[in-house]
Structure 1
Amino acid sequence: MEARAATLHEIRSALNAEHQHLWLLIASLRRASVDERQSSLQRLLRYLAVHEAAEEVAIHNAWVTDSTRERLDEEREAAEIVERLARLGDDPAETGEAVPMGATPSDDDFLVALDQLERSLRDHAEAEENEELPILAAELPKEQVGEMLRVVLMVRELAGDAASPIADGSFSTMRLAAQREFKAAISQLR
């Protein structure tokens, strides 16, 4: 299968749609009841792991600039917040951990970490769409921008499909599995 040419507008639109979906998942998690929180958190983490893997494989590593290095640093920082959020969102009954008196999965620490993650991701998305993508679209062949577009368009399928090869697990495990899938997809395009 051959990659088709794509424009800055097409890749920016697709990436913006992915970012909008992330904001919806974050809002859903924020509204989730204590009983729904773990499954809502897992949906967000799975989607974010696949989304970030797509960006890393197809976009950030396509042409190394100061902007792409900054985006990779931002993703590492976001991954640290994700790990903290995952720990705070764990159901103590399932982990076997002792629960401090009065503590629940809806503690302020969880919401603070979620707010930090959202701010970090919004800053990252803004820089990607308005700094990094214009540089890449100007420097790379339109066919390579088409590869980026194709990978970004695969995110929802890989993140949301029950038959997806991206099994639920830790954020880093899901991200690595998604990276493998995206690398294989790109190799089929060439």
Structure 2
Amino acid sequence: MKDNDLDVITFLLRQHEEIRTLFQEMDHVSGPAREEVFQRLVRTLSVHETAEEELVHPYARRAFAGGDKVVDARLREENAAKELLSRLDEMGTDHPEFPKLFEELRTDVLAHAEAEEREEFPKLKEETGEGKLRAMTTAVKAIEAMAPTHPHPGVESAKKNILMGPAAAIMDRTRDAIRAAMGKTGS
């Protein structure tokens, strides 16, 4: 089944599995490969959370009773994870504090994903028609294509993402291109 045929819940659940896999991969790599896997994790988490913040969470607020409470809790978790991910991204995988902080990130992110899967996604699926859920997948993919590729703590609302996201995305994608070019030239 292609991503375009998936409802947004299934699409996001697949991304959660990808994130879990990247965390597991980190246990089995070292050196430059560890940094490469970590940067894939940073990018995956960053674009995934942006899409949830811009589309999924605002929709959930309105879709079911208690949506505000559920979404507010998820946004607090996302901000804490972004702050930690940002610190880890800045320090690099060979920093002496990285392993301890990375384990804290893993615990927080996986608990956050489980909370979404338990509290938010089932209610969204119950209260939203299949056609709307598939349309949301298309929108999530569009948001992710333009999303920042690194964490930006404090930008958890849809409004802040829309206002600040494009500039952050350009800066992030430029930084990614420079890093890639530097790696290829050996500089």
Mapped partners of 1:16, 1:30: distance in 2: 22
Mapped partners of 1:113, 1:31: distance in 2: 17
User: Following TM superposition, by how much is the alpha carbon of 1:141 offset from its aligned partner in structure 2, in angstroms?
Assistant: 5.2
The alignment status of 1:115 with 2:103, answered yes or no, reads yes
Mapped partners of 1:52, 1:86: distance in 2: 16
Gapped regions of structure 2 (runs ≥ 5) = 62-66, 154-160, 170-187
53, 58, 77: which is aligned to 1:56? 53
Instruction: Select the structure with the greater relative contact order (CA < 8 A; seq sep ≥ 6).
Output: 1
Q: How many aligned positions are there?
A: 150
User: Following TM superposition, by how much is the alpha carbon of 1:110 offset from its aligned partner in structure 2, in angstroms?
Assistant: 0.8
**What residue in structure 2 maps to residue 17 of structure 1?**
14
TM-score (normalised: structure 1): 0.64
User: Quick check: which one's helix share is greater?
Assistant: 2
1:2-41 residue pairs with structure 2 within 5 A?
10-41=7-38
79, 83, 93: which is aligned to 1:80? 83
User: Following TM superposition, by how much is the alpha carbon of 1:28 offset from its aligned partner in structure 2, in angstroms?
Assistant: 2.1
Q: SS of the residue aligned with 1:75? A: helix
Mapped partners of 2:52, 2:109: distance in 1: 13
Mapped partners of 2:37, 2:9: distance in 1: 27
1:83-162 residue pairs with structure 2 within 5 A?
83-89=86-92, 105=94, 107=96, 109-140=97-128, 142-152=130-140, 154=141
User: Following TM superposition, by how much is the alpha carbon of 1:179 offset from its aligned partner in structure 2, in angstroms?
Assistant: 9.5
**What residue in structure 2 maps to residue 172 of structure 1?**
152
The alignment status of 1:68 with 2:71, answered yes or no, reads yes
**What residue in structure 2 maps to residue 97 of structure 1?**
none
Greater than 6 Å deviation, 4+ residue runs: none
User: Following TM superposition, by how much is the alpha carbon of 1:71 offset from its aligned partner in structure 2, in angstroms?
Assistant: 0.7
Q: SS of the residue aligned with 1:31? A: coil
Gapped regions of structure 1 (runs ≥ 5) = 91-104, 159-163, 181-190
